[in-house]
Structure 1
Amino acid sequence: MPAEIRKTLLHIENTLIEGGKVAATPLKLIAAMAVIKNPWAGQGFVEDLSPVIRDCAPGLGQILTDMILDAAGSGERVEGYGKSAIVGLDGEVEHASALIHTLHFGNIFREAVGAKSYLSFCNTRGPANAPLMIPLMDKNDGGRRSHYLTIQTSIADAPAADEIVIALGASIGGRPHHRIGDRYQDLKELGHDADNPAAV
């Protein structure tokens, strides 16, 4: 059966000034969150999580993706993206992982924004009001450091012990005044082939 959603939340943050300097292009961070009943709560150790993953993950992926697209205006506008989950104290971190580390969840977001990079992620266990961290990276270029970002927020009453918080995050823009270069320059300086970082 689909996920039992207690509530959804949308977090939008606009950074206009960073380091005392006005951002030429403000950074917009968007987090779409759902608080759900842990579908494995009270069942003890469950060996096969896959049936519930297939039941719950696609619907959650669609709801949260639609929230992001609505806030961003379109998938094309999204530049950075990521995902996160927090399982309540009675659950396993594997329960949080199960619902976000599946193509049944992530591919909905990936395809909607036309991404090539993998979805960066965080999965933790915690009480209500635990920090929700959503690491982001450029949706098409994993070495573009300007879009190494983290959305940080929390939900005052979630997750309860038998709940999971599931979240997607997006950015429009990168860090204002970014000036640490990209990963490729470091690879060159270290004598690595940027197209094959393992080669020296």
Structure 2
Amino acid sequence: MPEPKVRKLLTVVEDVYHEGGTPVETPLKRGAILAVIENPFAGSYHEKIDGFMKDLEPLGLSMANKLVEALGGRDKIEGYGKGAIVGQGGELEHGALWHVPGGYAMRGALGDAKAIVPSTKKVGGPGARLDVPVTHINASYVRSHFDAMEVGLADAPRADEIVVALVMTTGSRIHARVGGLRAEDIKGEDGLR
């Protein structure tokens, strides 16, 4: 397969100072990078599609590195997630092609991240929104880092496109206080605890 054809990239970073409690001095940063790419499988059923994952790897790594830079460097990143919105000429399985290249790209950009990268996908038209789940990069059970970021673009995906997304955060939810495993107590042995 040829390399992905990118129509546009969007990078967005938000600073969260409070969620109703006392504002914090250093805000939580949530960032997302989205690429709108041509879906080479749109319009008809294709039995063999998994080769496209390899073609997506360079795009994934480039996106991950840009997002790390936008958030201030890899030592700042504590949470991550990924997702895809497939245009209506495609199928949900085309969004699943982003699992490997998106996840490994973030792990590669961050170094030794151990936790599985949470993911979501759907089929939708231009303007569709997607809530991308986020967990801690080294331990999926760190409850303070369970989060999500809504992503989307007004003009994508068109019927023959896929929007692929990466999300990263610099810490826990602001005012996290529901208990559970804390980031400072991570053992880092299995990506869970």
Q: TM-score of the superposition, structure 1-length normalised?
A: 0.85
Distance 1:153 1:106, change over 3 A: closer
**Pairwise CA distance, 1:140:** 0.6
Distance in 2 separating the partners of 1:21 and 1:125: 39
Residue 77 of structure 2 aligns with which residue? 78
Deviations 1:21-66 (A, max 9, x none): 2125411000011000112123x111111222222x2122112112
| Percent of residue pairs identical | 38
Point out the more displaced range, 111-120 or 161-170. Answer: 111-120
**Pairwise CA distance, 1:81:** 0.4
Q: Which amino acid aligns with 1:85?
A: A
Determine helix, strand or coil for the equivalent of 2:27: strand
1:160 aligns with 2:158: yes
**Pairwise CA distance, 1:177:** 0.9
Q: Which amino acid aligns with 1:54?
A: K
Residue 134 of structure 2 aligns with which residue? 136
Distance in 2 separating the partners of 1:69 and 1:173: 13
Contact 2:18–2:175 at 8 Å: present in 1 too? no
**Pairwise CA distance, 1:107:** 1.3
Contact 1:25–1:173 at 8 Å: present in 2 too? no
Contact 1:25–1:176 at 8 Å: present in 2 too? no
- Give the RMSD, CA atoms, in angstroms: 1.8
If you compute each CA radius of gyration, which structure gives the higher value, 1 or 2?
1
**Pairwise CA distance, 1:169:** 0.4
Distance in 2 separating the partners of 1:20 and 1:108: 35
Distance in 2 separating the partners of 1:21 and 1:97: 40
Contact 1:26–1:173 at 8 Å: present in 2 too? no
- After superposing on structure 2, the runs of 4+ consecutive aligned residues of structure 1 that deviate more than 6 Å are none
**Pairwise CA distance, 1:183:** 5.3
**Pairwise CA distance, 1:20:** 4.3
Residue 180 of structure 2 aligns with which residue? 182
Gapped runs of 5+ residues in structure 2?
Answer: 183-189
Count of paired positions: 182
Distance 1:175 1:123, change over 3 A: same
More strand, by proportion: 1
